Amino acid sequence: MATGSSNDDLDKQATDDQGGSAGKPAAGEVEGNSYHPLGNPGERHWQASTIEDPSLDKRDNLYFAAIEMTRMPMVMTDANAPDNPIVFVNRAFLDLTGYEEDQVLNRNCRFLQGPDTDPDAVAEMRAAIAEMRAVSVDILNYKADGTPFWNAVFMGPVFDRDGNPLYWFSSQVDITQRRASEGAFRQAQKMEAVGQLAAGMAHDFNNLLQVMSGNLEMAAGMAQDHPQLLRLIGNAQKAAKKGSRLTQQLLSFARKQRLDPHRINLNTLLVQFSEMLVRTLGSRVEVRLDLMPGLPHCLLDATHMEMALLNVLINARDAMPEGGTITVGTCIISDAQRLAAHGLPPGSYVALYVVDQGAGMPAEVLRRATEPFFTTKAPGTGLGLAMVHGFAQQSHGRLEIDSQPGRGTTVRMLFPPAGEADWPTQRMQAPGVVTSAARRAGQRILLVEDSDDVRQIAQDSLEAMGYEVLAADSGEEALGLLERRGPVDLLFTDVIMPGGINGLVLAERARQHQPGLPVLLATGVIDASLQEGASASSMHILGKPYRRGELAERVRAVLDGKAE
């Protein structure tokens, strides 16, 4: 509950009565929210009726005794006294706020307000008091020690038998945990929506990169005798590779990049990676390792783990422009309450942490630290911590960040140990042993790709390798070609295609025509469900954008796997 008066004299009198300085709010109160609880006294006046003063000792009154006994925080204020002062609080209110009774009696409830209290919520309560009606408001209040808490306040007037106001009554509930849960849920929904958008963008961008990379690779082959032209093509290829890395960051944030997890020990990874870290962070930064002995192994993609660690360390370095010490360490975390807050099942988790001595992050920056494209640095992608967050989630772990202004930042990545639970490994079946790199003339490949440019590049590349290619722009057309042209040696299809037949559906239907048909799926968006479905059906995946050499190697491997 938080109310006030717009009458300066009443405010001054109330403050003087509390022993404060004239014209200044008491400790914890906010200026500018004062108003008379019953409207403008010059326009409207309420006269309290004479009652047989039950308020002389309210604890002897049955009504107040009942309020005192309830476990819900409750407050009574005098509707007829200037500035609507508190005349009664129960023990539950004192337990909630941390105040003592003599610190709250005869004060207006505005002392509960603080710097982040919403003025609109205060205005809503002000209007209800002016109109003498009940109101229910969620408002951010502050405890005696300055701790903010969300307070669900129900406030209403108490009248005597003649309809004259006696008191304002309010009941209060601490809903801080509920608000935090609702906020976390909304944030998760927002991040999931952004992740879906990022994955869709990455799919389309990968198709563009595939066309660019394929044409540049062919152009480079034709320009061997033109050094200047080769240099220009090389510059364009470097830009295409940077674009490919950007899409991988987007997919990492969206938790749809392809991971190849193995049993690794984070202590070993840190020791092997430390020399590169020292070179990357520069001479102004000292890196210290604090490794827990006997650390369990984890199932992680080592390359993506190193990328995630590097992103965190670069952020730590940038937080210390004058230099300093960064501590990188490992430990075990098994606090059930802490794990539950992250949505993790109980157990022991391996934590890799990075501690810097930088300026730290204020609360508003900390809340947005893992949002994609949010950055406090110079303009860039802003995908560093978003990528780390996505990698940790896809690895069945969590990212945890603690930071305060002036106290530095601690970033932890929590991962389940290998073997403690039946965690999916997301590993693909091996594509088969490559028995020959030679071209096999006469082998027929059914190529399915809805993008005309990507399909043309792939067809030209496969035909240059000596394969016969049947090209289709949809699943429906591909099935028609199978019926008309007979068996093929390999189905090479995009996964995401318009219409009712995507790559996985097409592969299943094609195998009904031709049992045991080898399948190679091409996609830039690889999530766990796709990997598990492909692995279960003995299909193989080629990530976009791919180089011509990668295409030749993977096609050869799948075909030779069939021969074996």
Write out the DSSP string of 138-168.
EEEEE-TTS-EEEEEEEEEEEE-TTS-EEEE
Q: What is the mean pLDDT of residues 193-215?
A: 71
Q: What is the pLDDT of residue 540?
A: 87
Phi, psi of 476 (to 5 degrees): -65, -45
Residue 177: pLDDT band with limits 50, 70, 90: confident
Q: What is the pLDDT of residue 327?
A: 92
Residue 423: pLDDT band with limits 50, 70, 90: very low
CA 432, CA 554: separation in Å to the nearest integer? 10
Q: What is the pLDDT of residue 287?
A: 87
Using an 8 Å Cβ cutoff, are 440 and 564 in contact?
no
Q: What is the pLDDT of residue 48?
A: 33
Q: Who's near 319: CB < 8 A, 6+ residues apart?
A: 356, 358, 359, 360, 408, 409
DSSP count for the chain of H helices, then E strands: 17, 17
Residue 134 has pLDDT above 70, yes or no: yes
CA 448, CA 458: separation in Å to the nearest integer? 10
Q: What is the pLDDT of residue 492?
A: 94
Residue 118 has pLDDT above 70, yes or no: yes
Q: What is the mean pLDDT of residues 241-265?
A: 66
Residue 21 has pLDDT above 50, yes or no: no
Residue 135 has pLDDT above 80, yes or no: yes
Q: What is the mean pLDDT of residues 94-109?
A: 92
Q: What is the pLDDT of residue 185?
A: 66
Residue 79: pLDDT band with limits 50, 70, 90: confident
CA 465, CA 38: separation in Å to the nearest integer? 88
Q: Find the helix or strand (DSSP H, E) in which 351 lies.
A: strand 349-356
Residue 329 has pLDDT above 50, yes or no: yes
Lowest mean pLDDT among 33-37, 103-107, 319-323, 326-330: 33-37
